[in-house]
Amino acid sequence: MFGVGVAGLGSSLAIPSLAMSSLATPSIARAADRLVWKMATVWPKDTPGVGISAQRLVERIATLSDGRLTVQLFAAGELVAPSQVFDAVSNGKAEMGHGSPFFWAAKDPAFHYFSGVPFGLTVNEHAAWLGAAGGQALWERAYEPFGVLPFYAGSTGPQAAGWFKREIQKPEDFKGLAIRITGLGAEVLKRLGANPVLLPQDDIAAALESGTIDAAEWAGPWNDLALNLPRAAPFCYMPAFHELATSLELTVNKAAFETLPNDLQTVVRTAAQAAAIETSADFTANNILALPMLIERGTAVKSFPEPVIAALAKTSADVLTEIGDASPMAKEVHPAFIAFRKKAVAYAAVADGAALAMRARALAT
C-alpha cells in the first residue's frame, strides 16, 4: 500500500506519550462567520483515487456549508512532510488531515486495525465494523489522547500483493527477496526471509526495472498502471494477503471540531460519509477497467499457491497476536476486531463469498 513511514513491527510498537495538556488549540482564520481551515495530506497532488478523494472532500465541505467552511488543501510536503500529517492535526497546524491510520501506528499499534490488517476485513465488512459494530467508538478512543477525531473516508478495496520478477511457488521463495512494501505486510514477509524496502512512489518502477529490488507492492491495477509497474515486472499477484481493503481517513483536530456549530459538524460528517461511498466506488470501477489493460500489456496475473497462503496466514497470526498485546488500547481493540472478523468470515462463507463463487461458476465459459 501507499506508504510514508517506517515499515515493520518494531516501529509499530513504539508508543510515545502525549499528554492532553500539551495539545494545541488551532488558530482559526475567520472572515465574519466564515471559517478557513487547512487540510494536510500524505498524497502527492492529483494521485489517482486517494489524492483526488481529498480534493473532492474539501470541495464538498465548501458546497454543503455554502462557503461558511472552506478548507485549503495541501498535498504531501506542501505544509508538512507526509509522516507529519497526524501530528499537524494533533497540534493544530492543520485542522484536518487525509491519510490512513497505519501510517501513524508507531504512536499506538492499535491504529493498524482501523486501516486493515493481514487476512482482515473486506471493504463492506470494515465499514460495517466501524459504522454498526463498535469499531468507530474504539477508533475515537484510540485517537483521543492525541486530540484527533477520525472519520472513515473510503477504501481502496482489495489490493495487489505485488509485482514480482519471478514466480512465488513456495514460502522459501521469499527468502532474500528485496521487496518494496510497507506496514504489517512488510513485517510478515520479513519473518519469511524477505528484505522489505521503503521507496517513494516515483522511484518504484525504476528500482524494479533496474533490479535494485526484486518485487514491489503499491496498490492495485489502477494505481499500479499509473506507475508503469507492468513494464518493470511480468508477474502481478492478486489479491494481497495483507490488504483485503485499506481504509482511508479524514482526521480533524477535536478542539477545532468542537468549536463548529452543529450544522457545520454535520457538514463535515456528511462530507466524510459521501467520500467513503465515492472513493470506494472509484477504486472498484477503475480497478475493474484497469485489469484488462494490464493483461493486454503482457502481465501474468497470478495467485499465491496454498502452501504460500498457509505460511502467510500463520506468520500473520503471529504478528497480529503480538500487535494485540503491544499497548493497552491494542489489548482492547484486538479481541473486538478478531471476534467480528470470525463472524464476518462465517457470514461470507454463505453470503458474499458464496455468491461470488456461484456467479463465477454460472458465468464460466
**DSSP state string for 216-272:** E--S-HHHHHHTTGGGT-SEEE-S-SS-S--EEEEEEEHHHHHHS-HHHHHHHHHHH
Within a domain: 328? no
Within a domain: 300? no
- Tell me: pLDDT of 3 over 80: no
Q: Please compute the mean of the pLDDT values over residues 274-287 and round it to a whole number.
A: 97
Number of domains in the chain: 1
Within a domain: 302? no
- Tell me: pLDDT of 27 over 80: no
pLDDT in tens, 65-77: 999 999 999 999 9
- DSSP label of 100: -
Alpha-carbon Rg for the chain, nearest whole angstrom, is 20
Nearest in space to 123 (alpha carbons), one of 152, 144, 99, 81: 152
Provide the H-helix boundaries in 144-235: 183-191, 201-210, 221-226
Residue whose cell numbers read 474504539: 138
At 43, which CATH number?
3.40.190.170
Residue pair 327/108 in contact (Cβ under 8 Å)? The answer is: yes
pTM over 0.75: yes
pLDDT in tens, 311-363: 999 999 999 999 999 999 999 999 999 999 999 999 999 999 999 999 999 99
- pLDDT for the residue 1: 62
Instruction: Report the C-alpha dihedral over residues 150, 153, 159, 163, rounded to 10 degrees.
Output: -80
What is d(CA 130, CA 323) in angstroms, rounded to the nearest whole number? 20
Within a domain: 50? yes
- Tell me: pLDDT of 31 over 60: no
What is d(CA 30, CA 132) in angstroms, rounded to the nearest whole number? 36
Within a domain: 276? yes
Widest Cα–Cα separation across the chain: 65
Number of CB atoms found within 10 A of residue 137's CB: 11
139 — pLDDT class (breaks 50, 70, 90) = very high
Within a domain: 233? no
Instruction: Report the C-alpha dihedral over residues 44, 49, 55, 57, rounded to 10 degrees.
Output: -140
| SS3 of residue 354 by DSSP | helix
- Tell me: pLDDT of 249 over 90: yes
Treating both helix axes as pointing N-terminal to C-terminal, what angle do 183-191 and 306-323 enclose, rounded to 10 degrees?
A: 120
Provide the H-helix boundaries in the chain: 9-12, 50-64, 85-91, 112-115, 123-132, 135-143, 183-191, 201-210, 221-226, 254-259, 262-296, 306-323, 328-350, 352-363
Q: What percent of the chain has pLDDT over 90?
A: 89
Within a domain: 340? no
Domain that includes residue 30, residue range: 9-156+244-288
Residue pair 177/298 in contact (Cβ under 8 Å)? The answer is: no
pLDDT in tens, 83-134: 999 999 999 999 999 999 999 999 999 999 999 999 999 999 999 999 999 9
4 — pLDDT class (breaks 50, 70, 90) = low
2 — pLDDT class (breaks 50, 70, 90) = low
Which three cell numbers mark 146?
492525541
- pLDDT for the residue 33: 80
- Tell me: pLDDT of 365 over 80: no
Q: Please compute the mean of the pLDDT values over residues 282-301 and round it to a whole number.
A: 97
Tell me the pLDDT of the chain averaged across its residues. 93
Within a domain: 306? no
